[in-house]
Amino acid sequence: MMPVERDSLQPASIEAKPVPHVVHEVGEGGIPSIVPLWPAPPIPQPANDDGYGDLERQLDEQRRLLLTSAQRRVAALRRLTGLRRINEDLQNCFHGLERVLPPDAAGLSLTFQDEPGVPDSKLTLGWSSNGLAQVLPVSSTGISAFELRLSDIRAGHGATLHVHLVSPDDHRVVDRWTVPLEDTSAGWTMFCLTAPIVGPTHGLEVRLDVECDEDVHVALSLGAGQTVAPFRARNPVLQVDASPRGLAMRVWCGDAHGSFGRHGNALVADGRRSGADGLVDVPLSPGLIAQVQHVDAEPAVGDFKAVSWVPYRVAVACHPPAHGFTLACLPLPSGMAIRGIGLDVEVGNPKSRTVEFAMVVASDAERAKTLLEGTATTGAEESFSGWVAADFDAGSSLLVQQARPFPRGSRVYLATRMLVAGNRDYAWARFRRIALKVHL
């Protein structure tokens, strides 16, 4: 056992350490209370390095997003309910108005009438004709239908009468009717517009073409003699009068669609196809298609033309050469925000070899040639369909489209070439059903 020095056990040699103590205070009722002199030690918090904090924040954000989405959905449903109420109120108002209108107030009103002359003179449309055109001798405002008198109908399989109502000022097609001659009877035929024409007054021209083979025709009655030259029936290709008279015609205003029961030969205008992108197909007017031109044309041999308007097929013929390609040019209508063009292609003779077709939208012919030859790439305001092959029993289609409208002054260039250079006999290449893709 080790000895312990006595001095080390003396009180003076022991270090005094502070000891926590309390103060007694007298509280209510004379009861003493204890007040600590030192603050309470902090309570340890759990560490956030275990990921629970991040998860909680993410859950809070998801709750906020779900709440916002639910609030928006409720607001949309409330708005939809309000719109339905407004629609019902409007329908009730219209029904109430119809009850107080006279019975014939919503019917058709005859605006212009030119009855067949005596004797009945006619103009015939068939395989060898260039079509007919006539300006309507009335103001465009309020027009909802017009009638033509058809007779001497000799129909064949697939024979079709194409009727276009066009604004000649800007070559805009107002409405179009595709009429199978096999289902058409002689007499007055009413062509009902999609809706009555509203807005500024402008001219209107009716254009008629027959798509048919030989030995098929339809005749149209002529009215009285017409002293005003623009109102006469004319040959739209040669731009000459087809007769000193106008077509026998009746023009109507009012609700044409509500009058079908009284008009057995009433025809509704063709519907316009619309895509998921909101673009609507509007046919290119026959007047513009007939203005097709051959770029760098060589002198024609005999009556054969490499590029021409084919009325009996409502198409543009563009016959390819043995080597290289044939280039045709079409103008575009002004005043339309055109964002695309679609068309069909065909080869019209079974003896033909395979033909390739292409379409370009460019500012001039030289630029179109470089794109067709593959020596340049399309710019921001140009479009190229690429080359597409077709045969007699296997047609195809072409499409050019842009996110923005084509710039003013752009033109459409159509090209054809032989898939295998050399023999180009019977290569009757044609572009058909040319439609513009626009926002209405």
Q: Among 65, 100, 135, which residue terminates a domain?
A: 100
In a domain, 6, yes or no: no
Q: Distance between CA atoms of 294 and 307, rounded to whole angstroms? A: 6
Question: Residue 52's pLDDT is what?
Answer: 75
If DSSP codes are grouped into helix, strand and coil, which group holds residue 166? Answer: strand
Cα 113 from chain centre: 35
Within this chain, do residues 133 and 73 fall inside the same structural domain, yes or no? no
Within this chain, do residues 141 and 243 fall inside the same structural domain, yes or no? yes
Within this chain, do residues 199 and 294 fall inside the same structural domain, yes or no? no
Q: In this structure, what CATH number is given to the domain that contains residue 424?
A: 2.60.120
Within this chain, do residues 382 and 307 fall inside the same structural domain, yes or no? yes
Residues of the chain with pLDDT under 50: 1-9, 11-14, 16, 19, 21-23, 101-105, 261, 301-302
Tokens of 368: 């179109």
The C-alpha torsion from 390 through 391 and 395 to 398, rounded to 10°, is 10
Within this chain, do residues 118 and 261 fall inside the same structural domain, yes or no? yes
Tokens of 354: 């395979």
Length of the chain: 440
Eight-class DSSP state of 394: B
Question: Residue 27's pLDDT is what?
Answer: 53
In a domain, 163, yes or no: yes
Within this chain, do residues 259 and 380 fall inside the same structural domain, yes or no? no
In a domain, 378, yes or no: yes
Closest CA to 160 of 182, 176, 145: 182
Within this chain, do residues 302 and 385 fall inside the same structural domain, yes or no? yes
Within this chain, do residues 236 and 325 fall inside the same structural domain, yes or no? no
Split into its structural domains, the chain has a count of 3
Within this chain, do residues 262 and 120 fall inside the same structural domain, yes or no? yes
Within this chain, do residues 433 and 363 fall inside the same structural domain, yes or no? yes
Question: Residue 274's pLDDT is what?
Answer: 72
Q: 234 forms bridges with which residues in the sheet?
A: 133, 241
Question: Residue 105's pLDDT is what?
Answer: 47
Within this chain, do residues 95 and 133 fall inside the same structural domain, yes or no? no
Within this chain, do residues 303 and 258 fall inside the same structural domain, yes or no? no
In a domain, 76, yes or no: yes
**Residue 383 belongs to domain spanning:** 286-438
In a domain, 257, yes or no: yes
Contact between 219 and 228 under an 8 Å Cβ cutoff? The reply is: no
Question: Residue 1's pLDDT is what?
Answer: 45
Q: Distance between CA atoms of 70 and 310, rounded to whole angstroms? A: 60
